[in-house]
Amino acid sequence: MSAELNPYSTKMQKTVECLNTQFASVRAGRANAGVLDQIQVEYYDTPSPIQQVATIASPDPRTLTIQPWDNSILKAIEKAILASDLGINPQNDGRLIRLVFPQLTEERRKELAKQVRKYGEEAKVAVRNIRRDAMDSFKKQQKKSEITEDDLKNLEKDLQKLTDDFIKKVDEATARKEKELHEI
């Protein structure tokens, strides 16, 4: 791969990493602390991720416990979880919050699979937009006579291969997450 493609390769890699982060927040049938990554809690008038104000543990495959370091924010954490799109009612016992993940229904699995495919499609669009930006940049360089027409053709070919590789990674990640959703 030529040096001209490195910044675009990095951007495409970040797109795939962002997709994996989004997938972590989609809850499958088992407890996963990643579902709490996007949830912010008001702590001393500052929105903070739950992981920064509490200890998160998974005592069994279907349960997460959240134990705040400062018990005064127990209600704020509970409120933030209820306000999120997690779809789970937190159980507050005054010391910690327990999240019990119910078995997914077939209907809910299909909804989540559709959401996963949507995230995958958005990631593919992002990768293609990066390719388009790279092509525009290379064509401008060729117009300014900074690169030859042969260089442009080679860059086009290499860029298309790079794009295809990242699209394949997105498809594989999407398929993995869908398979995980359909496991019982």
13: closest CA among 163, 177, 174? Answer: 163
Counting other chains too, the contacts that 151-155 makes at CB distance below 8 Å and 24 or more residues apart are 154/2, 155/2, 155/4, 155/5
Q: Are residues 86 and 34 in the same domain?
A: yes
Model confidence over 77-91: pLDDT tens digits? 888 888 877 777 888
- Residue that terminates a domain, selected from 70, 100, 130: 100
CA distance 27 to 109: 10
Q: Are residues 113 and 155 in the same domain?
A: yes
Question: Average pLDDT for residues 52-60, to the nearest whole number?
Answer: 86
Q: Are residues 85 and 112 in the same domain?
A: no
What pLDDT shows up at residue 30?
67
Q: Are residues 35 and 71 in the same domain?
A: yes
12 vs 5: which has the higher pLDDT = 12
Q: Are residues 76 and 39 in the same domain?
A: yes
Question: For the chain, what is the domain count?
Answer: 2
Nearby residues of 65 by Cβ (< 8 Å), 6 or more positions away:
56, 57, 58, 59, 96, 97, 98, 99
CA distance 163 to 167: 6
Q: Are residues 117 and 172 in the same domain?
A: yes
Q: Are residues 16 and 60 in the same domain?
A: no
What pLDDT shows up at residue 170?
94
32 vs 132: which has the higher pLDDT = 132
Q: Are residues 112 and 96 in the same domain?
A: no
Identify the domain containing residue 128 by its residue range: 3-24+105-182
- Residue that terminates a domain, selected from 66, 100, 134: 100
Model confidence over 131-175: pLDDT tens digits? 999 999 999 988 988 888 888 899 999 999 999 999 999 999 999
What pLDDT shows up at residue 1?
59
Domain CATH number, residue 47:
3.30.1360.40
Q: Are residues 93 and 59 in the same domain?
A: yes
- Residue that terminates a domain, selected from 100, 116, 141: 100
Domain CATH number, residue 167:
1.10.132.20
Q: Are residues 125 and 83 in the same domain?
A: no
What pLDDT shows up at residue 27?
65
99 vs 126: which has the higher pLDDT = 126
Model confidence over 104-117: pLDDT tens digits? 788 878 888 888 99
What pLDDT shows up at residue 12?
92
